[in-house]
Amino acid sequence: MQQIVSMDTFKDFSISNQLHYAIEDLGFEKPTPIQSKAFSVILSGKDVVGIAQTGTGKTFAYMLPLLQELKFSKQIHPRILILVPTRELVLQVAEEIEKFSKYLTIRVVKVYGGANINTQQQEVAQGADIIVATPGRLYDLVLSRSLQLKSIKKLVIDEVDIMLDLGFRFQLTNIFELLPSRRQNIMFSATMTDEVNTLIHDFFTAPSTISIAVSGTPLDNIAQYCYSVSNFYTKANLLVYLLKDKDLFNKVLVFVSNKRSADRLFEVLEEEFGYEIAVIHSNKTQNYRIRSIENFNKGKTRVLVTTDVMSRGLHIDHISHVVNLDTPSFPENYMHRIGRTGRAEQEGTSLLFYTEQEQEAKETIETLMDMKISNLDFPEEVEISTRLTPSEQPKDTEPRSTYKKRDTSLGSGFHEKSEKNKKVNQGGSYRRLIAKKYKKPKTRGDKNYNNRNKKK
Ligand code: AMP
């Protein structure tokens, strides 16, 4: 049995005087909940998954035990690697570390793209204890042999949901392969997504999860209902049907689990409602996203489709409905989503669409809230779609009996490729498809946005 030790003040933390002095200088009176919870778990050396948003004191939550353990050393190769998704975060995290380690002799080196690589190579060559890095530039430094990761004992991945949403999975996997297998993995994420879960499953060993309660969600102000719906496109039909009541559904935030679903849903809704609909996800440019949110805030667009990760930091008031087009498998995400409505004494409504496969996730949410979500009857007028998304298609279980061995009498395998096979794999077929559809590169969300608005 794990012993429960009270960690209400910094005095309860077994940390060095140098760290205590730094905390005093910073004027921190008491640890934040994530700091109290994370300290002994991280110190134990186990793999850790922390669910916490920026502003909760999470940087200090992982740095405090790591700094406590890090002994003075003159060795060149770093022992702690902290990966973050953006250059701004590299600077921010490094700055925080410098504050905490004011009375320690610790070398922190910042590594990020868009800046001179030679300077960073020189800095790294002088020796580092902690590297704070974005994955791409870090990998470049390792490939150019300027940096060795063989001494890394602790890996922290911060804001991992954003990192994966930005498409860094491949870079992360590459980096994992270069790290010693005996290491502690620590990961912080504000939301749990399927991608985050897969990453944990693939690379973490029996991690401990620390989560801080979603506070201040005024559940009393939110009426919660759910519909049992057979598949994605039927969910889309149901949403179209509901959105026709423009007075009732006057400011609607729709959550989907990933960007593909966001694009699929947008396509259906746009056909029906045109400019009243906007979508934001990480493949849209920053400007496009900012403008979409502004327009939604001002009431120019009535419906905003978003993914969990993109909805972070959205400050939108007077939302009439939050629609959960999918049922989050992590109940915390549901709580974050519905907390977008029913704010500041306003009444709000949340709708949850769940398939048979999602029934269990719905029940987990109900257990967390200790209440049942009222079921509404599926409206007879709504068409039940037979169209399935790729992930809903039945899996092909046919044995691969059609595989033929190459006829060796045909000679060498090194022949000229036929014209058809000369095609180079361009990768990202989905992106190309979308780019074709919108007649522009996917990353130029802006252009498309302007054109569409002009037409209307
Ligand atoms: P973070 O969630 O790591 O981005 O931290 C948010 C802010 O809270 C930072 O400016 C920290 O310096 C500050 N902070 C961290 N821990 C504490 C604490 N125990 N008391 C007061 N402020 C804190």
d(CA 456, CA 240): 20
- Decide whether any atom of ligand 1 lies within 6 Å of the 55 Cβ: yes
Q: What is the pLDDT of residue 221?
A: 80
Are 131 and 109 a contacting pair, CB within 8 Å?
Answer: yes
What is the biggest distance separating any 2 CA atoms in the chain, rounded to whole angstroms? 80
Residue among 10, 26, 67 to mutate when testing ligand 1 (max atoms within 8 A of CB): 26
Which residue has the least CA distance to atom 20 on ligand 1? 28
Which residue has the least CA distance to atom 16 on ligand 1? 57
- Decide whether any atom of ligand 1 lies within 6 Å of the 27 Cβ: no
- Decide whether any atom of ligand 1 lies within 6 Å of the 34 Cβ: no
- Decide whether any atom of ligand 1 lies within 6 Å of the 231 Cβ: no
Which residue has the least CA distance to atom 9 on ligand 1? 57
Q: What is the pLDDT of residue 423?
A: 44
- Rounded to a whole number of angstroms, the CA Rg of the chain reads 25
- Look at the block and give the residue holding tokens 């496009």: 288
- Look at the block and give the residue holding tokens 């909940």: 33
SS3 call for 210? strand
CA 7 – ligand 1 centroid, Å: 17
- Decide whether any atom of ligand 1 lies within 6 Å of the 413 Cβ: no
10-212: CATH superfamily: P-loop containing nucleotide triphosphate hydrolases (3.40.50.300)
Are 193 and 258 a contacting pair, CB within 8 Å?
Answer: yes
Closest ligand 1 atom to 56 CA = 2
- Decide whether any atom of ligand 1 lies within 6 Å of the 58 Cβ: yes
What are 152's two structure tokens? 């890394």
Are 83 and 156 a contacting pair, CB within 8 Å?
Answer: yes
Alpha carbon 296 to chain centroid distance? 23
Closest ligand 1 atom to 10 CA = 19
d(CA 289, CA 446): 9
Q: What is the pLDDT of residue 344?
A: 63
- Strand spans (E) along 22-66: 48-51
Summarised one tens digit per residue, pLDDT across range 406-435 is 444 433 333 444 444 444 444 444 444 444
Q: What is the pLDDT of residue 212?
A: 74
Q: Which residues of the chain have pLDDT under 70?
A: 1-5, 213-218, 312-314, 343-345, 396-456
Q: In CATH, what class is 222-375?
A: alpha beta
- Decide whether any atom of ligand 1 lies within 6 Å of the 53 Cβ: no
Closest ligand 1 atom to 29 CA = 20
Q: What φ, ψ does residue 144 adopt, rounded to 5°?
A: -80, 5
Closest ligand 1 atom to 99 CA = 12
Q: Percentage helix, strand, coil, to 5, in the chain? A: 40, 15, 45
DSSP string computed for 73-128: ---SS-SEEEE-SSHHHHHHHHHHHHHHTTTS---EEEE-TTS-HHHHHHHHHT--
- Decide whether any atom of ligand 1 lies within 6 Å of the 399 Cβ: no
Q: What φ, ψ does residue 208 adopt, rounded to 5°?
A: -85, 140
- Decide whether any atom of ligand 1 lies within 6 Å of the 364 Cβ: no
Residues of the chain with CATH 3.40.50.300: 10-212, 222-375
| Amino acid sitting at position 421 | N
Q: What is the pLDDT of residue 277?
A: 96
Q: Helix 286-298 and helix 445-455: axis angle, to 10°? A: 40
Are 163 and 83 a contacting pair, CB within 8 Å?
Answer: yes
Phi-psi label, residue 251: left if phi above 0, alpha if psi -120 to 50, beta otherwise: beta
DSSP string computed for 339-391: TTSS-TT--EEEEEEE-TTTHHHHHHHHHHHTSPPEE-PPPTTSPPP----GG
CA 126 – ligand 1 centroid, Å: 30
Q: Return the number of other C-beta atoms located less than 10 Å from residue 363's C-beta.
A: 15
Who's near 94: CB < 8 A, 6+ residues apart? 108, 110, 132
Residue among 20, 28, 39, 63 to mutate when testing ligand 1 (max atoms within 8 A of CB): 28
d(CA 171, CA 305): 28
- Decide whether any atom of ligand 1 lies within 6 Å of the 31 Cβ: yes
What are 449's two structure tokens? 């946005």
Q: Return the number of other C-beta atoms located less than 10 Å from residue 359's C-beta.
A: 12
Q: What is the pLDDT of residue 218?
A: 55
What are 138's two structure tokens? 């870090």
Q: What is the pLDDT of residue 436?
A: 47
Q: What is the pLDDT of residue 53?
A: 75
- Decide whether any atom of ligand 1 lies within 6 Å of the 92 Cβ: no
Q: What is the pLDDT of residue 409?
A: 41
Q: Which residues of 387-409 are buried (b: 16+ CB within 10 A; e: fewer)?
A: eeeeeeeeeeeeeeeeeeeeeee
Residue among 25, 39, 60 to mutate when testing ligand 1 (max atoms within 8 A of CB): 60
Which residue has the least CA distance to atom 11 on ligand 1? 57
CA torsion sign for 92, 333, 257, 381 is negative
Q: What is the pLDDT of residue 214?
A: 57
